[in-house]
Structure 1
Amino acid sequence: MITRALVIWLLLMLAETIHGILRGLLLVPLVGQIRANQIGVAFGSLLILVISILTIKWIKAVRISELLTVGIVWVLLTLAFEVGLGYVFGGWDRVSMDYDPRQGGLMPLGLLIMFFSPFIARRMRS
């Protein structure tokens, strides 16, 4: 189960990376960085839910404890990935902006949705 969850996490990160590149190229020039980030978290959360719904049976997590374990693994890996990339490409100021709601950062909301997405996906597929 965990190996399959890791494979899907890699798929999630690939989808989110492509989403982030497209957001930067297409949306930021239209609405600005802060608004683009806010729209991006909403769309990214939807993307995570859709991928979760399509793959949850393949992951083979069934019990609530398994579903929440998948969610927490995804969140912890994503935090490491996001903080690492954020620091390399923008420094700590960039990282704090993404996680600070006062600066338009909605990443905590996205991570919360990511945490519950396996559970939501299983409920929707049952």
Structure 2
Amino acid sequence: MVFVKAVIVWLVFIIAESINGTVRMFWLVPLLGDIRAHQISFIMGSLLILAIATIFIKWLHASKTSQLIKIGLLWLLLTVVFEIVLGRFILGYSWQRIVADYNLLQGGLMPFGLVFLVISPVIATTVRSFIERAGVWGSKGIRV
């Protein structure tokens, strides 16, 4: 059941990241240029992932670090497959265009994003625990 729930949370990520990418392409790139837009979009995407993971982490019912890392690895795998299928087979991008997002020397930030994605369940568990201890999500607060 954890696997199915993790895929559902990943779908929420993809929707949020798709909106983030649309904002980057239509508003940030014309205003700031491609490199700066990608940098801002990367930060916003990371914050979105952390926020979504923090909201849903308790719902996943995974408490061990090994379980959390496995969830992060699943999210990484799903993301890479999604990027390839969308980029190559739906949008018709060349392999060079797809790989450029992963090339740090060309300004690609995707490797950092994928590492963050893998560790985000662990970070989200810590953030959620801190928020609950602070009383923001108390016994009558937000529950997912």
Determine which structure has greater relative contact order: mean sequence separation of CA pairs < 8 Å that are 6+ residues apart, divided by chain length: 1
Correspondence for 2:104:
101
Correspondence for 1:121:
124
| Uncovered stretches (5+) of structure 2, i.e. residues with no partner | 130-144
Matched, 1:111 2:114: yes
The one-letter code of the counterpart of 1:112 is: V
Correspondence for 2:69:
68
What is the SS of the residue equivalent to 2:101? helix
The more displaced of 115-124 and 90-99 is 90-99
The one-letter code of the counterpart of 2:115 is: L
| Uncovered stretches (5+) of structure 1, i.e. residues with no partner | none
Equivalent pair of 1:12/1:48 in contact (CA under 8 Å): yes
Correspondence for 2:82:
81
Equivalent pair of 1:35/1:104 in contact (CA under 8 Å): no
RMSD: 1.0
Structure 1 stretches of at least 4 aligned residues deviating more than 6 Å after TM superposition:
none
Please identify which structure carries the higher helix content.
1
Equivalent pair of 1:45/1:110 in contact (CA under 8 Å): yes
Correspondence for 1:47:
48
Larger radius of gyration: 2
Summarize the alignment of residues 2-21 of structure 1 with structure 2, pairs less than 5 Å apart: 2-21=3-22
Distance 1:48 1:73 in 2: 14
Correspondence for 2:95:
92
How far does residue 24 in structure 1 lie from its aligned partner after superposition?
0.4
TM-score, length basis structure 2: 0.83
Distance 1:72 1:16 in 2: 18
What CA deviation, in whole Å up to 9, does each residue of 1:27-67 have, x standing for no partner?
A: 01011122211221111011100100111001111111110
What is the SS of the residue equivalent to 2:59? helix
TM-score, length basis structure 1: 0.95
Distance 1:83 1:37 in 2: 19
Correspondence for 1:24:
25
